[in-house]
Amino acid sequence: MDGRKVDREAAEQFGKNLWRARRRAGHSQEALGVLTSLHRTEIGLLERGKRLPRVDTLMKLADALEVRMESLLEGIEWLPPGSSVDGSFVVRREA
């Protein structure tokens, strides 16, 4: 890891959403990397749930995939401090 605090469930959910959007768009990881100026390995780390993207990366991905950022964040919710000391992400599973 790169030292950033990562909420694993949220990262995994984001990765699933990204993978689905990339496949629907018909791009390889390498092609998406070219479109976003990200390295293919970064796309892979995001898809495998090893990292959460920065906001600029999220914007690049959504733009390249021609989806709304919200679709890449589907199922992920932020709980502000109070519910926990630092706040945290919650993954909402569809019933």
Q: Which fold has domain 8-91?
A: 434 Repressor (Amino-terminal Domain) (1.10.260)
pLDDT in tens, 34-87: 999 999 999 999 999 999 999 999 999 999 999 999 999 999 988 776 655 566
pLDDT of residue 77: 87
Tell me how many degrees the CA angle 85-2-29 measures, rounded to the nearest 5: 115
Band (pLDDT 50/70/90 cuts) for residue 30 is very high
Amino acid at residue number 36: T
pLDDT of residue 94: 65
From CA 32, how far away is CA 67, in angstroms rounded? 13
Q: Where are the domains of the chain?
A: 8-91
- pTM comes to 0.82
